Amino acid sequence: MRWCALLLLTACGPNYPGEDLEPEAERCAIGEDLEAGDRELSIGAGQGADFEPYTDGMEVPIVRGPQGGYMIIPVLRVPALADTEGCSVVDIDHGDVGEGIFPGHKANLLFTQIGGHLYTGHIYDLLAFEPALLDGTQLTLQVRVTGVIAGEKQVTITLQE
């Protein structure tokens, strides 16, 4: 009998009745009627008033992910224009850093408005499975955004364990 009660309790999960989430597929629709235009693109950490752009030479911490990989977790920011939100393809190229370090990250990401800017969520940019390859490494991030929002940015950071 105890096993049945335990099984019933573990089968229960959180329930969020009434939560009305707009499907991301609709939020990420890239319409031809939206003007892309190049914008000043920033890559950094935080959102809103807490956003801190990466600068050349800046030390950026590497983070160990739940599956054992090491990554940086940046956010992108662009000025908001007439449109409020939209999806674009984000391509982060790490260049030719060396053996064991992954070449980059590419994804279709939603930019949402906070104040006068549009931000992505956290980008889990996997770099390597060996932290010794990363600590103290200078990494040039070449970021290119295409789609509803477009822009480019290059910055060289120093990875810090």
Q: Which of the residues in the chain have pLDDT under 70?
A: 1-38, 83-84
pLDDT the model gives residue 38:
67
Residue pointed to by tokens 């939603």:
110
pLDDT the model gives residue 131:
92
- Is pTM beyond 0.85 here? no
pLDDT the model gives residue 81:
79
Structural domains in the chain plus CATH codes = 35-160 (2.60.40)
